[in-house]
């Protein structure tokens, strides 16, 4: 049960896939306004850490290091329950 109708509406989006909040800069859509707000900051921050493979840039060196796994195929984290990585 949900104590507020707005909370129920937000929860339903998990099942419907509805993403009513769109970024005016890149068009990416989000189910929650808070996720859109966080995303919009990525457009405002200076990205000074470029990937040497695909030229995508990041605001922090740690984000670049995490992105590097896309190119290496490394999946260093696995689920303790089922083992999926």
Q: How far apart are alpha carbons 74 and 55 in whole angstroms?
A: 19
- Res 35 pLDDT > 80: yes
Residue 67 within a domain = yes
Rounded average pLDDT over 37-52: 89
Q: What integer pLDDT is reported at residue 18 of this predicted model?
A: 94
Residue 9 within a domain = no
Q: Which CATH number goes with the domain that contains 63?
A: 3.30.160
- Percent of the chain exceeding pLDDT 90 equals 55
Q: What integer pLDDT is reported at residue 79 of this predicted model?
A: 82
Determine if the pTM surpasses 0.75: no
Rounded average pLDDT over 46-67: 91
Residue 69 within a domain = yes
What range does the domain containing 61 cover?
46-75
- The number of folded domains in the chain is 1
Residue 56 within a domain = yes
**What element of type H or E holds 57?**
strand 57-58
Residue 52 within a domain = yes
């Amino acid at each position: 049960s949900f104590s507020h109708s707005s909370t129920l509406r937000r929860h339903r989006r998990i099942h419907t896939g509805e993403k009513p909040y769109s970024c005016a800069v890149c068009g990416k859509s989000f189910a929650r306004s808070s996720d859109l707000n966080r995303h919009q900051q990525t457009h405002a921050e200076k990205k000074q850490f470029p990937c040497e493979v695909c030229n995508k840039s990041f605001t922090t060196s740690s984000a670049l290091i995490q992105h590097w796994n896309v190119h290496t195929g490394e999946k260093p984290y696995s689920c303790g329950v089922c083992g999926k990585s």
